[in-house]
Amino acid sequence: MLRLIIKKEIQSALRDTRIQFAGTFLILLMLVSVLVGRQGQKQIQKERAEAQATMYDKWVNQGAKHPHSAAHYGQFAFKPKPVLSFLDLGLDNYTGVSVFLEAHKQNEVLYSAAQEGNGMTRFGELTAALVLQVLLPLLIIFLTFNIFSREREEGTLKLIHGQGISMRKLLMGKVWGTYALVLLIFIPVICLAYFLLDQASAGFDPHVGVKFMGLLASYSLYLLIFVLLSVIISAFSKSSSFSLLSLLGLWIAACIILPKATTNLADKVYPTPSQYEFRKTIAEKVENGIDGHNPSDARLADLKKQVLDEYNVSKTEDLPVNWRGIAMQAGEEYTDQVYDHEFSKVENIFKKQNRVSEWAGFINPYLAIRNLSMAFSGTDFHHHVAFVKAAENYRRAFVKKMNKDMEVNDKPGTEDYRVDKEMWESIESFSYEAPDIGKIISVQWRSVTALVFWLVALFTLASIYAPKISRL
């Protein structure tokens, strides 16, 4: 019986020319976004990989020089364009692309695409995510708003009821029938996208297969939630127009108004510090110590005494090692500590802000899927932070190596100490691997739970109240 209902739903929807048109249009949109977006992703990744290689080449061929000059010469880190980013661009246009890595200071990841574009950029790029999160739910609404009320208005509901079909079965039949159509629209294009993945970029992310499955599963859940919600609302609406209006109202609230309001609220509750305060605090803490009672010259004097004692000499000139190398590395490490301290403060504020919209996923499933989709596509905030940290660790490692070399080899008495290519080559080119699926789930569990919560709640609701449909 269930199968019959499902079949009937699919057939009657497929016969509707408006549905045919809307469905084809969505498929075409997704196809365009996948084909053009993939091309763009491939192109950008190619350019970034080339830029990374060129810059590394320049580092290797910088010529013979003092290791500290080389640390000042510095290196670059380019963020690989996530291979799935063409399915969901996420924050990619709003986070920087590359960072200059040099001695003594931690530069910002700069040059975001949004800054280069005019106001049009703020309207976003067409991706499958836009279609699946916003447009497909609208199609679901049109498929379902009169799925019960029409039967009610035409009197067929009583006929069906009279034949002894349970309302629960009828409801589920309509849910699965609609859902089958939805899957028909989105699964083929998304799977096509997977086969078209740029293999060169996929190399940066060994977990891309699992992430893609995660993406697929999240969207399947989200769309099922939307189908359930629409069918239930339709089932308990007296008229088609009432159910259409309430569904459209919900859609506008969930997909258009609430996301902005939620993010704005979060920014109000957890205010972002200004760049000026951030830099000032760092400079002050480096100067006066993290606790404010350990000024930099006292720190230096302590270190000097310690080193002199260790080698049992009285002046730095008598040391068998380069004092400036030691001092510089100590300074570097202290600055790093201060920076980590301050940066993690800002990072935590941002995370708290984002958490507001993660929890809000329990109220608005759109927010849950938005977060999950970005996470699986490698374009969420956590991925950005992971890149920033990887670049910073790389910087620390190579600067340390330069300082160490200077400490050990540029001994007092050495004239015009220089190192060459062999040294530069001993530092490998920057490479970055995106966080794996375990990490993603561990930071996005709220959104996963929110989706599951919605699904369970709606199924429960449906099965408890289904028998009442016929009485309405």
Partner 1 sequence: MKNLLHICRFEWKNLWRNNTLIILLLVFFGAGIYGIYFGKFEIQKQEDRMATVQEYERQQFDSLLTWVSLDTSIKANQINFRRAVSPTGEGRSKHFTYYVLHHTPPLAGLCLGQRDLFPVYYGLNVTDLARQMNIGELANPMKLLTGNFDLSYVIIFLLPLLIVALFYDLYAKEKEGGTLTLLQSQSVKLSTVLMGKGLLRLLIVLGSATGLLLLGFLLQGISLGQNAGIFFQSLGLIYTYCLFWTAVMAGIIALRKSSATSAIYGLGIWLLLTMISPALLNLFVSAKTPLPNRTDSVHELRTLSGKVWGSPRSFVYDQFYPKYPEYDKGDSINFNQWYYASFTLFDDKANSLNQEYESQVAKRNQLLKKWQWLAPAAMVHENFSSISKTDRESHIRFVKRIHEFHDDLKNTYYPKIFDDENFNKTELMELQAKLEE
Q: For residues 376-395, which are near partner 1 according to CB under 8 A?
A: 381, 384
The piece of 35-43, 205-213, 405-413, 460-468 that touches partner 1 (CB under 8 A) is 35-43
Binding residues among 117-156 for partner 1 as defined by CB under 8 A: 117-127, 130, 134-135, 138, 142
Binding residues among 314-373 for partner 1 as defined by CB under 8 A: 346, 349-350, 353-354, 357
* Alpha-carbon distance values, 450 to 194, 222, 436 (Å): 26, 10, 21
Which tokens sit at 426? 């001993």
**CB 274, min distance to partner 1, A:** 4
158 or 268: CB nearest partner 1: 268
321 or 423: CB nearest partner 1: 423
Using DSSP's 3-state secondary structure scheme, residue 76 falls into strand
Which of 2, 112, 217, 457 lies at the binding interface for partner 1 (CB under 8 A)? 112
Q: How far apart are CA 285 and CA 304, in angstroms?
A: 20
Site size toward partner 1, by CB under 8 A:
89
Under the binding rule (CB under 8 A), the answer on residue 32 touching partner 1 is: yes
At 339, which amino acid appears?
Y
**CB 14, min distance to partner 1, A:** 18
Binding residues among 157-196 for partner 1 as defined by CB under 8 A: none
Which of 2, 27, 73, 449 lies at the binding interface for partner 1 (CB under 8 A)? 73
95 or 466: CB nearest partner 1: 95
**CB 300, min distance to partner 1, A:** 13
For the window 230-259, what string marks contact with partner 1 as x by the rule CB under 8 A? ----------xx--x---x---x---xx-x
Which of 85, 93, 106, 234 lies at the binding interface for partner 1 (CB under 8 A)? 93
**CB 286, min distance to partner 1, A:** 12
Please choose, from the candidates 407, 247, 405, 430, the residue with its C-alpha nearest in 3D space to the C-alpha of residue 311: 407
At 409, which amino acid appears?
N
**CB 324, min distance to partner 1, A:** 15
Binding residues among 41-60 for partner 1 as defined by CB under 8 A: 43-44, 47, 51, 55, 58
The piece of 29-37, 180-188, 199-207, 450-458 that touches partner 1 (CB under 8 A) is 29-37
* Alpha-carbon distance values, 152 to 158, 235, 247, 469 (Å): 7, 9, 18, 10
25 or 445: CB nearest partner 1: 25
Which of 2, 10, 36, 308 lies at the binding interface for partner 1 (CB under 8 A)? 36
Please choose, from the candidates 405, 389, 390, 391, the residue with its C-alpha nearest in 3D space to the C-alpha of residue 328: 405
322 or 354: CB nearest partner 1: 354
DSSP calls for 27-47 = HHHHHHHHHHHHHHHHHHHHH
* Alpha-carbon distance values, 216 to 15, 25, 128, 382 (Å): 28, 21, 12, 20
**CB 472, min distance to partner 1, A:** 20
Do the Cβ atoms of 226 and 134 come closer than 8 Å?
A: no
At 185, which amino acid appears?
I
**CB 440, min distance to partner 1, A:** 16
Which tokens sit at 193? 């996208």
Largest Cα–Cα separation, the chain: 104
* Helices and strands, counts by H and E, the chain: 20, 3
Phi, psi (rounded to 5 degrees) for 105: -145, 155
Q: What H or E segment, with its residue span, contains residue 332? A: helix 323-359
63 or 467: CB nearest partner 1: 63
